[in-house]
Chain A
């Protein structure tokens, strides 16, 4: 039986996933693809695997295979990483070490917490990065780690004794480290903490952390371990309490400053904003049950100290809550945090595919995939773009539904910037001073055994009212599949094109589809029809016909306006919404 090289003495208490993986890499020197196979994850997940949190791209990775290989009990394993209970601001992106622990080849995930400044075992000050030259050592797995694990990229020196890696000396159970983990887990079991009337605000990450921890300590009534560096005195007079979730309603400064979203130069971004507004209106109409709830949240926001408002929340059904929080997350991402960048970041592949499919020039459109070009009016360009913009918005809202459902099931709510989930692996913590000069802190508590979306997808397979709601929303406007397993939350069944399902493809990463497949297929179909027509002779003419048909179809399927084959840019900026119209 083939085996990995691994020391059986390695089951040391609270050892971090970072040091475990580094040791595994050093001992076995696998290629990235081999290592991905060993872990049972995909290679692209490996390239962004955050060893501090055991997550890739914001989603938890199933590392059960690694757990089986390395003899670790459940508790030791669960504390090898930091969970979402730990504030992102409090986590150091570079590896932190205790010099004395390093002599034993020991590192614990608790060292990554910025609030922990001294080693609980040796009481020595923790250092960031390479102990020899101070260069930062990223905790996100990269090709550098595979080429030379545990070697500083700057000074090229190995910062750990090789003998400790081969045969790690035993480290006794330390209750100091255990108390840090325990305290963090207990204290973050609060959805939101809000201060009252606190005006003297200090900017900066460390300042935020220093404020939040005493605040959490007070609201929970649990004193922090002595190893945590908290500045309690400065904030002893601050009033603080735990409240329910709220929502931001105004666009953030960031959105105003960076509202541009350009796939191609010369594009008028107001069109995208108009589309977004139209989509938002449509969502709000569809999610009619949530309107009252949102109003309630707004009341809570205006008066967070009013206890009576929170009682009404208990009358909401789970589906109402899912709808509400999905909308909240969607709006928060678009308006409160990322703006139109949400679509861009969340749909990088979508943008690439757009560029591959259509190259919009002044008066014509090049289609590299079909090796052709055709004349393209401004209105046609708008139609094509509108499709991709709406697809991005819908993808984002799907993400919001998944997250909201998870929150409702777990009973723990948080706001999250959905646009970042593809690009970042850190947990999502929010703490800022709101317009009322109150300090808001949102905890990121999610049950550790949850696998995002997998369970949600399984639930979607069951016929229930939630699914009907989705259909009503036209996010999943497919017919009822005969086989429940055929139901996939993606582009495969999302758009009623009348074409066989296999013509709609998933994108290269296997993510939710962007509809490139059905666009191409539609184009081919249009060309075929054009060829049959005796009046059309030139290839350019045929392609133009196909583009016109494509644009018409996009408008029909996305905007629900089958009677108007052409719209201009003004029409897009002021769309007339007909939500109930079905596509023939």
Chain B
């Protein structure tokens, strides 16, 4: 790399969220999904699942966005616990309960008997809901495609115990597209009650489908994502201060980027194009890292760099993999 952004590589700025990869962008697919989830919560549903292909931003949505969005919507009246499911070779009730306790930041997460852990967890959830002033709890389980019927049965018991204490639990499973097969398997295996509780309601977490949505995402870098906090410095302005003054915006690059996505996406996938969020975010990070403030305004340079950035994210390979997973069918991803 002959060209590099000195601000990105300077030690002083190593705490920047973009450098650390600790940021999340609110995208139109997230808005659709959160509306579904709010509907499930409002209807006091036992659960539902959000499914989507990998790298579309589901996990980031589940881990960083959804709790804030729910808290904002319900003004903190509903506690949200986010759990990242860890697959194990064999089902272990204490292990699963311990992981749930850890994810809820409980102080006691040492091994113990399953019934103790179960009571501790249910009372913790109930107390948190009581502290929030409501009687509902939302549990979001990421990587739920690895959960077995036994795991869901445990969740079911937890829900029943909370119900006894006067609280309602809504479990949102966030999973990749394998969840669709698990769902069918569970029905065929006779776990109708689990299916009825946690799999009847579902929604698809889609990717970026058109240039307008892409522009919306890019606009976030230009104006919404800010660092340092309590400043007015957007990410674009931070890494390209001179160019930003000269009216450089990532939003203006949407057309060029979309062309690239279309070109390499349709080459393999014969379906309605949906661009994974990761390949957009990584491309932007590439530009912030490898394009200097002085060269970004050079004529033709940014287009060339954008192509290079998208290529570096291995977007084409990923779309090919998705295409293979779908069996080359000419249809949408869902």
Contact = CB atoms under 8 A, between A and B. Distances in A.
A1 B130 CA distance: 20
Interface string A2-29: 1111111100000000000000001111
B165 A3 contact: no
B301 to A, nearest CB: 46
B123 A5 contact: yes
A31 B116 CA distance: 10
Contacts of A8: 131
A164 to B, nearest CB: 11
A437 interface: no
B108 A27 contact: no
Contacts of A1: 105
Interface string A140-162: 00000000000000000000001
A3 B123 CA distance: 13
A128 B151 CA distance: 44
A223 interface: no
A166 interface: yes
B106 A29 contact: no
Contacts of B110: 31, 34
B105 A27 contact: no
A3 B107 contact: yes
Contacts of B105: 1-3
Given A8-B131, A166-B130, A28 B165 contact: no
B126 A166 contact: yes
Contacts of A165: 123
A165 B131 CA distance: 12
A2 B107 contact: yes
Contact of B108 (A30, A163, A166, A167): A30
B165 A31 contact: no
A570 B167 CA distance: 78
Contacts of A3: 105-107
A4 B109 CA distance: 11
Contacts of B106: 2-5, 28
Interface string B77-99: 00000000000000000000000
Contacts of B165: 162-163, 166
Given A29-B119, A166-B165, A167-B130, A5 B112 contact: no
Given A162-B165, A166-B165, A29 B108 contact: yes
The DSSP consensus for interface residues of chain B is helix
Interface in B101-120: 105-110, 112, 116, 119-120
A165 B112 CA distance: 22
Nearest to A35: B108
Contacts of B124: 5, 27-28
A320 B308 CA distance: 91
Which of B108, B109, B116, B119 counts the most chain A CB atoms within 10 A?
Answer: B108
Contacts of B328: none
Sort chain A's interface into a size bin: 20 to 34
Interface string A345-357: 0000000000000
B127 interface: yes
A5 B127 CA distance: 7
A38 interface: yes
A6 B127 contact: yes
B107 A167 contact: no
B166 interface: yes
A9 B131 CA distance: 7
Given A3-B106, A28-B108, A9 B130 contact: yes
B123 A166 contact: yes
B78 to A, nearest CB: 15
Interface string A21-49: 00000111111001000100000000000
B131 A28 contact: no
A169 to B, nearest CB: 11
B107 A7 contact: no
A570 B116 CA distance: 63
Contact of A7 (B120, B127, B166, B167): B127
Contacts of B112: 29, 31
Contact of A26 (B108, B109, B123): B123
A5 B112 CA distance: 17
Contacts of A34: 108, 110
B107 to A, nearest CB: 4
B130 A4 contact: no
A7 to B, nearest CB: 5
Contacts of B116: 29
Interface of A: 1-9, 26-31, 34, 38, 162-163, 165-167
Given A163-B165, A167-B126, 16 more contacts: A2-B105, A2-B106, A3-B105, A5-B127, A6-B127, A9-B131, A27-B124, A27-B127, A28-B106, A28-B107, A28-B120, A29-B120, A34-B108, A34-B110, A166-B130, A166-B165
13 contacts: A2-B105, A3-B105, A5-B123, A5-B128, A7-B130, A9-B130, A9-B131, A28-B106, A29-B112, A29-B119, A34-B110, A166-B126, A167-B130
Interface of B: 105-110, 112, 116, 119-120, 123-124, 126-128, 130-131, 165-167
